[in-house]
Structure 1
């Protein structure tokens, strides 16, 4: 009995130090799968909040236990502030907010220190806000023990999109150099919704993405944000991207007014891309129609008991790490 207990104790002790050393000595990104082990390898189970661009919206998202908080970052002014242009949380054309990027990060760090688990996805609409934002992230880096996604549309996309993309070379260079512990979320501009209800990602779009990533020798984790209505028509093309960029994922998103072939989209998610490679960040009305229910997720359910234990263990280790880092 004693030997058995000692063996278990030794195992926990060794596992603890492996995690400790890995997190304190590694510069790799914190993955959503590892941070939320209760999802198993089913990324469609990850929940998302959109446009968390104010203190109230941030508080509500955390209260609702949303896993990933998506927020927009622009150069603008802080309400009640000095009037200087700084990175603030707002969606163009708005450029004023009661929440700066610095304040947003401070609040999220505080929430996670109190035991609330959440990750963030920062969406950049212009290249001008990128460098000051990454500098702000660097100031908080020693306290960030949660997933960080950096998102931008870096290439022109389907249906002759006229939206100007964020410069791909600048985005990749700065993100790789200044904040390598992030997951890069890189996609295409799109023109879809309303009267435009047909479109797809072409071989040319995929090839252009592969080429720019290869040119910059990107080693960070990658996710490709793709629009639901066009994903439904692009299974074969996106499967090529999946195969050519190992360990990458897709983040399927949609606007409320987008026309979506639900059956096709469901087929692409379940049988072409796979639930272990797809985040689904769409309006609830579309998510309900997709019926990505527990019956579709049985392939990952066997991992749930272990995942629950692991989640508690990871949370405990994270709190210890934060205390350890403050003393350094």
Structure 2
């Protein structure tokens, strides 16, 4: 499909050339989809009967509309310079970008696993997750299972400073990230690395680069980069995290979240949702927002608005082991969002009950 742009050109007297019947300029969809493409058309408008002349008209894609402003807030438009926390897709930052199969890491799981015949419909709920494969036993179980995506928590081990798999407050593990990546490389499963410390990011991305060519499936890099409802932990430094992952892994999918506590009845308020949107404006990689299941029912308008800002955004619903939420909460989420743009990384028994309620076989 071709995206149509109206070319507005002003003459020496600041009049629009539209009044002279200036044509609409058609830009290929590939250019329209990439905000970094700024084609300069070698146009020359000759002067006829007072019509002004113009050389080298620059045609730039208009910034996406932020959608309706949330109540009581003003949504600023995207930065036209496309500046931001780090280089975008296809650019090199301070670190060398990893060489991976084109599009594999950034392909949405619904598209990848539908294309490869592992799911029957373009439905995020059909994608099965294995959460916290943070030990040798859990990693082996995940590798043998029929799940599609495997998630681990990454920290640095004290002393040798090797990236290992553990969730704070744990500080050690019987498996390193390097060992785990080698094991996952022999499977067909997508992976999600949840970074629990900024110090673990750089060494982990180096290890990821060593196996990059073997991972021809979705790769997600997660960090809680903003404070959220009742969050007690300090978030990762957003600009440092995004600078590292976008420069080293421009093809990966970014998974961004808020530090939160679980208090049913609360939600993601407009200010924190808007702040996340502003943080993501300059990014050209796919972004999934990690949202806590118990908090989503109180945040439906805010999160609907967030997804409306870009077709590259999705939600990943997660839960803590002690969280209080119901299958009805999950059904409410499903009813209010595009099912192809919401993933569910949740624990049992709610996971099985939810899949049964929506008619998806486990």
Normalising by structure 2, what TM-score?
A: 0.67
Question: SS at 1:207's partner residue?
Answer: helix
* Cα 1:50–1:85 shift into 2, 3 Å: same
Cα distance in 1 for residues equivalent to 2:132 and 2:292: 17
Structure 2 unpaired stretches of 5+:
1-99
**Equivalent position SS for 1:129:** helix
Unaligned residue ranges in structure 1 (runs of 5+): 1-22, 78-82, 298-328
Give the counterpart of 1:184 among 232, 239, 254.
254
Structure 2 residue aligned with 1:249: 314
Would the alpha carbon gap of residues 24 and 179 (structure 1) be closer, same or farther in structure 2, given more than 3 Å must change? closer
Q: 2:195 aligned to 124, 143, 147, which one?
A: 124
> How big is the shift at 1:35?
2.5
Match of 1:209 in 2: 276
Structure 1 residues 93-102 or 224-233, which shifts more? 93-102
Greater helix content: 1
Partner of 2:151: 70
Distance 1:56 1:279 in 2: 25
**Alignment of structure 1 residues 278-317 onto 2, 5 Å:** 278-291=342-355, 293=357, 295=359
Greater Cα offset, 247-256 or 164-173: 247-256
Establish whether residue 173 from structure 1 lines up as the match of residue 243 from structure 2. yes
The alignment yields a C-alpha RMSD, in angstroms, of: 2.0
Structure 1 158/245 Cα, relative in aligned 2: closer, same or farther at 3 Å? Answer: farther
Q: What is the CA–CA distance in structure 2 between the aligned matches of 1:98 and 1:152, rounded to whole Å?
A: 23
Match of residue 111, structure 2, among 29, 34, 42: 34
Q: Which moved more, 1:85-94 or 1:23-32?
A: 23-32
Task: Find 2:177's aligned residue among 101, 110, 118.
Answer: 101
Distance 1:89 1:243 in 2: 35
Deviations for 1:84-111, whole angstroms, at most 9, x for unmatched residues? 11111111222222211111111111x2
TM-score by length of 1: 0.73
Cα separation, 2, equivalents of 1:174 and 1:292: 40
Distance 1:130 1:24, change over 3 A: closer
CA distance in 1: counterparts of 2:155 and 2:147, whole angstroms: 23
- Once the two structures are TM-superposed, the CA of residue 124 in structure 1 deviates from its matched residue by 0.4
CA separation in 2, counterparts of 1:201 and 1:24?
Answer: 36
Q: Name the structure 1 match of 2:232.
A: 162
Distance 1:296 1:98, change over 3 A: closer
Structure 2 residue 214 is matched with structure 1 residue 150: no
Aligned residues: 258
Q: 1:247 to 1:26 in 2, by over 3 A?
A: closer
